[in-house]
């Protein structure tokens, strides 16, 4: 549709660890995990492995429960103003339920959808 957005990725960085959305194997094994601004123990209780957690994780992303759960859902928004980056919003866990659609992600960004003028076109008005 000819849209472009300035995206950034946390891939190959410590960002997810800095914002407590990802946890090291050592943190997981100790139970000392900070997630959603509170301490948690995300390890399965004794016997829960047989309750289907590994099967669930395998069916979703092809891994086991500890590997799957060491990186939890989280979203943060920032704004760059006069060369300074400001953290404007974060949400974790069930706080993300309402923002899975792309427009809802953009609506929560500090500059919204960054749109000017009429932003949508009918399918027969696209180039090429």
Q: What DSSP line would sit under 12-37, residue for residue? A: TSSHHHHTTSB--HHHHHHT-EEETT
3-class SS of residue 84: strand
Residue 118 has pLDDT above 60, yes or no: no
**Residue 125, pLDDT score:** 67
Model confidence pLDDT, tens digit, residues 18-70? 888 888 888 888 888 888 888 888 777 766 655 677 787 788 778 887 788 78
Output the CA torsion sign for 45, 46, 47, 52.
Answer: positive
Q: Residue 10 — very low, low, confident or very high, per pLDDT cuts 50/70/90?
A: confident
**Residue 87, pLDDT score:** 92
Output the CA torsion sign for 46, 48, 50, 53.
Answer: negative
Residue 117 has pLDDT above 60, yes or no: no
- Looking from the CA of 13 toward its CB, the CA atoms found within 13 Å total 9
Residue with the bigger pLDDT between 51 and 94: it is: 94
* C-beta separation of 19 from 34 below 8 A: no
């Amino acid at each position: 549709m000819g849209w472009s957005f300035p995206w950034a990725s946390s891939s190959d960085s410590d960002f997810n660890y800095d914002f407590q959305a990802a946890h090291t194997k050592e943190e997981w094994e100790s139970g000392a995990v900070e997630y959603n601004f509170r301490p948690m123990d995300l390890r399965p209780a004794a016997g829960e492995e047989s309750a289907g957690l590994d099967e669930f994780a395998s069916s979703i992303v092809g891994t086991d429960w500890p590997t799957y759960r060491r990186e939890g859902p989280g979203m943060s928004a920032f704004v760059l103003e006069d060369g300074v980056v400001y953290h404007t919003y974060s949400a974790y866990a069930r706080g993300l339920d309402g923002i899975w659609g792309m427009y809802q992600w953009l609506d929560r960004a500090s500059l919204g959808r960054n749109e000017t003028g009429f932003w949508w076109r009918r399918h027969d008005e696209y180039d090429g």
